Amino acid sequence: MKSISLLAPGHRGCAGCCDAMAAKFTLMGAGEDCIVVSPTGCLEVMTTPYPETSWDVPWIHSLFENAGAVASGIEAGLKALGKQGTKVIAMGGDGATMDIGLQALSGAFERGHNITYVCIDNEAYMNTGVQRSAATPYGASTTTSPAGKVSFGNPRPKKNMPAIILAHGSPYVATTSLAYPKDMIAKVKKATEIEGPTYIHCHAPCTTGWGFDTSKTVEVARMAVQTGLWPLYEVEDGKVTKVRKIGNNKKPVEEYLKMQRRFKHLFTMEGGAEEIAKIQAIADKNIEEFGL
Amino acid sequence: MAHEMKMDKKNMVVVEGSYAVAHAVKTCRPNVISAYPITPQTHIVEDLSKFMADGEIPNCEYINVESEFSALSALVGSSAVGARSYSATTSQGLELMHEVLFNVAGMRLPIIMTVANRAVSAPINIWNDHQDSISQRDTGWIQLYAENTQEISDMTAQAFKISEDRDIMMPSMTCMDGFILSHVYEPLVLLEQDITDEFLPPFRPERILDPKNPMTFGAFADPHFYTEFRYQQERAMQNSLKKIEDVANEFYDMYGRYFGGLIDEYQTEDADIIIMAMGSIIGTIKDVIDHLREKNVKIGLLKVRAFRPFPAQAIMNVIKDAKVVVVLDKNISLGMNAGALFIETKSVLYNTDIDVPVIGYMIGQGGRDIPMSTIEKIISDAEEVMRSGIKIESQFTDLKEELL
Ligand SMILES: Cc1ncc(C[n+]2csc(CCOP(=O)(O)OP(=O)(O)O)c2C)c(N)n1
Ligand code: SF4
């Protein structure tokens, strides 16, 4: 572990920002011999207000939906120029990864480029003001899926992005969480050392978008894992090789939901209890599937 | 003219236009090629793929992407690490790249792309006009238009040299008429490797993504800074005006071939009527001029080779003493009822002492044939304008009233 962060302090994100933490842990795992691509989103905007930059590694932002393709080109360019050893990492939000950038990402993984993609999943489009994405969980209120008299918020469960990446035959797919920095750093290190396109999906609670105190990012993240709503696992060559057990520490989903403003309506609206039960069912299914 | 062609018939081969382009690209020693197939560009990328399969392009990676959007996006990455980067596309593919085109120019990445010009949908149409590249006019790409297969081949090397110049660092589109040039077999001289190695130095950009000297590309620029980025892009475009001329002359000195710099001229010295156009239609116009000159019609041709940067001064120098200027456009700005070359030619004359009538014709849309008789008809209109002034400023050509 490096003592000096490759992401310099003084970025313009919110206090307790999830994207900044995720970027820092990623760089700790990758080391300094890397090139980073970030799509448009909070991380990009807050770290590179010209003429300043937080990045102590070479970094490029092109567009919102092309990080997978830009990373492909960097890898191909380095190869053609005979530059070996430099790791190519793309790091972007859930919107950039799972929605608008999915095609470019799929292409990069299908072609088998030697890159590592880190999805920083804060479960909505934060940079534009907390609109829903394909990663927004069931029942969350966002600015484009607001709770209202006839709505309990987002009507769909999260898209299973790691499974989509696995379908591409990726040699290494892992989930991680900001609550477990060591886990994240180790997984990034491993991913960047494995040849081929590897993927890490990081659950990253956003203080502003989810509505919790800026000091609680890690606590909220940990609760997601302890309820079973965010299982931590590794898949190598298509087989689940490691799972973080919760065992007797298992918490009911209410404890997670009530920490956050985006689920507040579930506790005040008539019929909210049934909605919470549906969310509990999602957690129970994860617990069963991964043997948490 | 000072540029007498020195082409040895012995060195000529009969090949398809697309093959000539692919061969030229190979000769320029690219490091990364990334493209997605679309008619009529396909033969170029197929020929390049074959060169790759036969190990004929050293130190090069070919990325078979899943879309044109990713084709150009991948080149953003490769060019930023210092790899000479190339793509080819047309029509729908070029329009899909729109957002990336701005991004490439804004990041000052000297990527070269061949555009096999084709009409845009709807209705879907695979034949030639210039609507696709003209619609990308303001994206910050240098746009050069070729008259024949020899020119598009030679232009490929010229474009790399222009774009990669330190005072420019702007991307270029080299435009060839789809099918008319991409699929035609004509005798030409393939770009010579030995001369090209001397003509085109290796790509060594000053700023690249390199862990030994970390830099940030594509930062967020607020209103305090954004204008200056745009200004510098415009200045680079203005620098390229001279560079395009210089490179064409240097190319002539080394290879013996010349097709114009920013523009080219044919029979303009004493011309009362000057026709302006871009692309393969130039050949037809020259034939018409030869024919009419025999009948003592004083007519000349101004071939526009660079549409961006727009060669305002060069154009004014040629047309200032003419009695009428006729502009042919294979594109339309809908709602303006005029083509782009016509609109811009008129705009550069305003606020000057030059007072020459300019009339415009939108011609060859979606690949409609342009026979010599159509151009002759346009010229007789121009003669009428000389006699009695402009009646219709801009119009469609060969419109079939019975289909409306
Ligand atoms: C083509 C395009 N559409 C929309 C936008 C506007 N936009 C910029 S960032 C963003 C959301 C980013 O969300 P996400 O990827 O989840 O990252 P976050 O900001 O939440 O970290 C959107 C919608 C854009 N920049 N480009
Ligand atoms: S809105 Fe969320 S992701 Fe964006 S800067 Fe604030 S905490 Fe970070």
Q: Residue A9: what pLDDT?
A: 87
Tens-digit pLDDT profile for residues B251-301: 999 999 999 999 999 999 999 999 999 999 999 999 999 999 999 999 999
pLDDT average, residue stretch B167-173: 98
Q: Residue B177: what pLDDT?
A: 98
Q: How far is the CA of B5 from the centre of ligand 2 (A)?
A: 63
Q: How far is the CA of B142 from the centre of ligand 1 (A)?
A: 30
Tens-digit pLDDT profile for residues B23-71: 999 999 999 999 999 999 999 999 999 999 999 999 999 999 999 999 9
Q: Residue A1: what pLDDT?
A: 42
Cα–Cα distance between B78 and A140 in angstroms, integer?
Answer: 40
Cβ(B367)–Cβ(B127) below 8 Å? yes
Q: Residue A10: what pLDDT?
A: 85
Q: Residue A249: what pLDDT?
A: 87
Which two three-digit tokens encode residue A74?
């960097």
Q: Residue A7: what pLDDT?
A: 94
Question: Which residue, judged by its Cα, is nearest atom 22 of ligand 1?
Answer: A128
Which two three-digit tokens encode residue A39?
């799509």
* Low pLDDT (below 50) residues in chain A: 1-3
Among residues of chain B, what percentage have pLDDT more than 70?
A: 100
3-state secondary structure of A3: coil
B-interface mutation test, from A33, A78, A103, A105, most B Cβ less than 10 A away: A78
B1 pLDDT exceeds 90?
Answer: no
Q: Answer yes or no: is the C-beta of A208 below 6 A from any ligand 2 atom.
A: yes
Question: Which residue, judged by its Cα, is nearest atom 6 of ligand 2?
Answer: A14
A-interface mutation test, from B139, B220, B224, most A Cβ less than 10 A away: B220
ipTM of the complex: 0.97
Tens-digit pLDDT profile for residues B355-392: 999 999 999 999 999 999 999 999 999 999 999 999 99
In the chain, the amino acid numbered A113 is H
Average pLDDT value over all residues in chain B: 97
Q: Residue A5: what pLDDT?
A: 85
Cα–Cα distance between B34 and B148 in angstroms, integer?
Answer: 25
Q: Residue B289: what pLDDT?
A: 98
Q: Answer yes or no: is the C-beta of A42 below 6 A from any ligand 2 atom.
A: yes
Phi and psi torsions of B396, nearest 5°: -75, 150
Q: Residue A3: what pLDDT?
A: 47
- Please list every residue in chain B whose beta carbon sits closer than 8 Å to the beta carbon of residue A65: 69
Which two three-digit tokens encode residue B333?
């700005």
Tens-digit pLDDT profile for residues A250-271: 999 999 999 999 999 999 999 9
Please state the atom number of ligand 2 nearest to the C-alpha of residue A93: 3
The DSSP output letter for A60 is: E
Please state the atom number of ligand 1 nearest to the C-alpha of residue A19: 21
pLDDT average, residue stretch B138-157: 98
Q: Residue A2: what pLDDT?
A: 45
Q: How far is CA B68 from CA A107, A287, B38, B105, B240, in A?
A: 12, 42, 9, 17, 27
B210: closest chain A residue by CA = A58
